[in-house]
A and B are shown apart, each in its own frame.
Chain A
Amino acid sequence: MTKDRIDRRFAALKAENRAGFVTYIMAGDPDAATTLSVLKGLPGAGADLIELGFPFSDPMAEGPTIQRAAQRGLKSGMTLQGTLDLVAAFREGDSDTPVILMGYLNPVLNRGFESFAVAAAKAGVDGLIIVDCPPEEADPLSDALEAEGIALIRLAAPTTDDARLPMVVRRTSGFVYYVSVAGVTGVKSADAADVAPAVERLRKASGLPVAVGFGIRTPDQAAAVARVADAAVVGSALVDEIESAAQLNENVTEKVLLKASELAKAVRSARVGHEVRL
C-alpha cells in the first residue's frame, strides 16, 4: 500500500506541528536528466511531498507557465512511461518522500487504467491527481488505483459547495487538494483569509489533510497558507525558475533548488509564534 507513504508523511508533519511543503515540476522540462537531478535534490531542499507533472498536449486548466513546461516536456520526448521511469530512478535513492503524479486523463486512459496502476505502483508512485477527471467519472480509475494502493487525490475548488462535498471526498485518500483560486495555475494569487475556512470545511468532510495550491508564488504567500493548511503547493514559481535558468544557460538544478529552499524555509517557520490548530 504505497499511499501509506503519504499518510506517514502527514502524520510526521502533524507531530512536528508544521505544514508540509509540496513542490511541483514537470517531467522532461527541459529534459529527463535535469528532471531527475531536480527530483533528487528536492527533499534536501525541503520538499516534504513531490508532485511530478506528466505532460499533455492540451492542458486546459493550466496557465501559460505550466502549459509551456508541458510543451518543453513533450518536445524533449517525455512520455507517461518516461515519467514512471523518472519516479523509479528517484526511488533508488529515496524511499520516504511521497511522489504524486499530476496530469490529464487521456494519457492514462490511453495506457489503460490497470496497466498504468500496476506500473505506477512498481515505480514507487504514491498518488495521482487528474485535473480533468471529476469524482463523477472517476470510479474505473479509482478501482484500478485502489487495487495497487495508490491514492487518487481529489481536487476541491472555491466553487465546490456543501452539496457537492460528499461527492468530492468519496473514495479519496492521502489528502485533499484545495485549488485556492477559481482560475488556471500560476495566475491569480491565493487569499489566505478565504483559504482558512475552506480548508476547515474540507478537513471536516474528508477526515484527511488538506493541501492548498494554485496561486502560491512567494515565500510570504506560502507561509500564510502554511499557517492554515496542512500543506502548501508551489508549482508555477518553480517552473518559472526552470524556464529562465534554461533560457539563460544557467544551472537549472541549482536555481530551482535554491528557490525551493527559500519557499521551504518560509513554510517551515510559518507557524512559529502563531496560534496553531492541532
Chain B
Amino acid sequence: MNAPSKPNDYSAYPDAEGRFGGFGGRYVAETLMPLVLDLGKAYAEAKADPKFQEELKSFNTHYAGRPSPLYFAERLTEHFGGAKIYFKRDELNHTGSHKINNALGQILLAMRMGKTRIIAETGAGQHGVATATVCARFGLPCVVYMGATDVERQKPNVFRMNLLGAEVRPVTSGTGTLKDAMNEAMRDWVTNVHDTYYLIGTAAGPHPYPVMVRDFQSVIGIEARAQMLEMEGRLPDAVVACIGGGSNAIGLFHPFLNDDSVRLIGVEAAGHGVSTDKHAASLTGGRPGVLHGNRTYLLQDDDGQIIDAHSISAGLDYPGIGPEHSFLHEIGRAEYVSTTDEEALAAFQLCSTLEGIIPALEPAHALARVGEIAQELGKGKIVVMNLCGRGDKDIFTVAEALGRKI
C-alpha cells in the first residue's frame, strides 16, 4: 500500500463518518448506535451554537482557571543547553490536569441533551476527578469505573472522587487497569442508555468522541499558539506532549497541524522497554485494529487479542491511542517516540529540583525526551511541552519506585 499523502488542511478531518484517513469510525453494539448518532448531531449543533461556546468559555475562565500560563523553563533550558524550553502549564488548572477542559465541555453537552446520569472511566484518576468535579458543580450523579489495580495505586484520587460525591466502582477483570475500566463503562452505558451520558476521558472511542474531546482540548494549543506569538513573536519549532489515549497531545497539536514549520512530537510510555512485553506504546509497538469503538493502533497478539499495557503512569497504560494520532503517525505529520518508566522517573525528579514544579508521571514522559529535542533543535529554537498534570497524585508511586517510605 502506498503511504497516504499529507493533506493540505487538517481541519477537514474527521469526515462525516468520523474517519481520520483509515482510522476512527463507530464500532459499537447496535444498542448504542442510535445514541452515538444522536450524540454526533447534538455535538455538531452545540459546536455551532455561540451560546454553548460562550458558556464553556466562561466556565473555562472562571471555574477551571484558563488560560493556563506559558512558562519559560529557564533552568531546564540551561541544563540541556539547546533550544528554549517552554511549559504550557495545564497542571495549574482546577483539578490539576488538562482533563477538566474536556469534562466541562462534555457535561454542558450532556445537560443540553437532557441526560441525568454521568458515567466515566479513569486510569490515573485525573479524568475521574475532573468528571466528579463537574458532576458536583452541576448536580448530576456520577459513577466512575476504575481498574482495581489503579484504585490501589491512586488512592488519593479515589478519595478525592468520593469527597466530590462520586461513586468509584473498582473493576477486577483483565489487569484491572484503564482498558478494563473502559469495557465496564461501556457495559453500564449499553444497560442504561435511556438516561446515561458516558463522559469519555480521552480522544478515543466511537465518533464523535475523538473529535469532541480534541475540540475541547484544543484550547491548550490555541492558547499556546497565541501566547507564543505574544512572548516570542513567532511560532515554536516543536511542540511535545505525552500520549496515553492522547487527549492532551491532540489538544496541543491540533491548532498547529496546518503550520508546517512546527514539529509535533508525541511521547508514548515504553514501560520496561518497547522490546519487552511490558509497555504501552501502541504506535511504536502495535498495529491497527478495532477496540472501544474505533479503528486505531492497538497492542495485540497474533490472534487479534488485546494485550495489557504497562506503564508506571496509570494514565498512560492504555493499549490503544486516539485515531487522529494513528492518522498523523501514518501520514508522518507527527513523530512518535517513547520513554521508559525509569527515564520518566528521572525526568520527574529533574523537573522537581530544577524548576520547583512536581509534574505528574504522564508529562514526565514527555519531559524525558524534551532535553534531546532541545539539543537537536539547537540554540535559537523553541520547544513547547505540555505539562498536562501535576504530580501530587503520583508521590506514592514515585516514593515506592525510589525505595522511600512516606
Chain A residues proximal to chain B, CB less than 8 Å: 55-63, 67, 71, 74, 79-81, 104-111, 131-134, 136-137, 154-161, 164, 168, 179, 182-184, 187-188
Cross-chain contact of B174 among A57, A154, A182 (Cβ < 8 A): A57
Chain B: interface size category: 35 or more
Q: Are B27 and A188 in contact (CB under 8 A)?
A: no
Q: Which of B289-329 contact A (CB under 8 A)?
A: 289-293, 298, 300, 302-306
Considering the chains assembled together, what is the distance between the CA atoms of A230 and B187 in angstroms? 28
Considering the chains assembled together, what is the distance between the CA atoms of A107 and B35 in angstroms? 26
A131 to chain B: closest CB distance in Å?
Answer: 6
A113 to chain B: closest CB distance in Å?
Answer: 12
Residues of chain B lying within 8 A (CB to CB) of residue A109 = 289-290, 304
Looking at B30, B33, B300, B303, the one whose CB has the most chain A CB atoms below 10 A away is: B30
The verdict on A106 contacting B30 (CB below 8 Å), with A58-B306, A137-B25, A184-B190 known, is: no
B294 to chain A: closest CB distance in Å?
Answer: 10
B200 to chain A: closest CB distance in Å?
Answer: 13
A44 to chain B: closest CB distance in Å?
Answer: 31
Cross-chain contact of B179 among A58, A158, A182 (Cβ < 8 A): A58
Q: Are B191 and A57 in contact (CB under 8 A)?
A: no
Q: Are B30 and A179 in contact (CB under 8 A)?
A: yes
The verdict on A60 contacting B289 (CB below 8 Å), with A134-B26, A160-B30, A179-B30 known, is: no
The verdict on A156 contacting B30 (CB below 8 Å), with A106-B300, A184-B191 known, is: yes
Residues of chain B lying within 8 A (CB to CB) of residue A155 = 29-30
Counted as pairs of residues, one from A and one from B, with CB atoms less than 8 Å apart, the total is: 117
Q: Are B187 and A60 in contact (CB under 8 A)?
A: yes
Q: Which of B183-204 contact A (CB under 8 A)?
A: 183, 186-187, 190-191, 193-194
Q: Are A57 and B193 in contact (CB under 8 A)?
A: no
Residues of chain B lying within 8 A (CB to CB) of residue A184 = 187, 190-191
Q: Which of B242-300 contact A (CB under 8 A)?
A: 289-293, 298, 300
Q: Are B291 and A58 in contact (CB under 8 A)?
A: yes
Asked if B45 lies at the interface with its beta carbon under 8 angstroms from chain A, I say no
Nearest chain-A residue to B308 (Cβ)? A57
The verdict on A134 contacting B33 (CB below 8 Å), with A57-B306, A74-B305 known, is: yes
Q: Are A134 and B31 in contact (CB under 8 A)?
A: no
Residues of chain A lying within 8 A (CB to CB) of residue B187 = 60-63, 184
Cross-chain contact of A105 among B27, B30, B31, B33 (Cβ < 8 A): B27
